[in-house]
Amino acid sequence: MKKEVGLWIDRRRAAIVTVKNGDMEMRQVNSDIEKQARYSGGTLNISEDDIVERRLENHLRKYYDEVISNIQDAEAILIFGPGEAKIELKKRIDGKSFIGKKVFIETEDKMTDRQITAKVKKHFNKEKRN
C-alpha cells in the first residue's frame, strides 16, 4: 500500500493530492496569511518592521507544519508551485524525519485543481515506469 503525495503550494494555499492504491484524494490547507499590513502615516521603523517579519515567519512555520502533518506518511512526495513556498517547505521537511523518502521539487505556475491532480497522476505514473 504505497502512498504518494503531490502538492501545489504557495504562501496562501496548499492543494494536497494523495495517491494510494490507485485512488486519488485532494484536500486543501489554507494559510490564512494576512496581506502585508498597511500603515497610514509614513513608513515603519526598524523594530516595527522586525515584528511584522517575525509574525510572518511564525505564521508560515505553523502553515508548513500543518502541510507536513498531511504528507509525513508518504513514501514519495512531489512539491510544486510558483514561488518560494516550495523551497521553504523543502527546507522544513529536511529538518523532519523524511529520510529515505523521495522528494521531487518542480516550478509550476498557478494551476486549477484539475490541472494539479493531472500533474500528480502523470508524475507518479511516469515514476513507476522508470
CA separation, residue 121 to residues 3, 11, 47, 115 (Å): 12, 23, 47, 10
d(CA 31, CA 42): 28
Handedness of CA 59, 65, 71, 74 (dihedral sign): positive
Q: 66 falls in which pLDDT band (50, 70, 90)?
A: very high
- Fold adopted by 3-129: Nucleotidyltransferase; domain 5 (3.30.420)
**Range among 34-48, 73-87, 92-106 rated most confident:** 73-87
Whether 83 shows a pLDDT value over 80: the answer reads yes
User: Grid cell 521539487 — which residue?
Assistant: 105
At residue 112, the pLDDT reads 96
At residue 45, the pLDDT reads 62
Average pLDDT of the segment spanning 102-129:
92
Q: Which residue has the higher pLDDT, 45 or 124?
A: 124
All 3 cell numbers of residue 126? 511516469
Please report, as a single letter, which amino acid is at residue 57.
E
At residue 2, the pLDDT reads 84
CA nearest to 10, candidates 92, 89, 128: 89
The pLDDT tens digits of the residues spanning 8-56 come to 999 999 999 999 988 999 999 999 876 544 444 555 566 877 888 888 8
At residue 35, the pLDDT reads 54
Distance of CA 126 to the CA centre of its chain: 22
Domain boundaries, the chain: 3-129
At residue 37, the pLDDT reads 46
Cβ-contact 75, 101 below 8 angstroms: yes
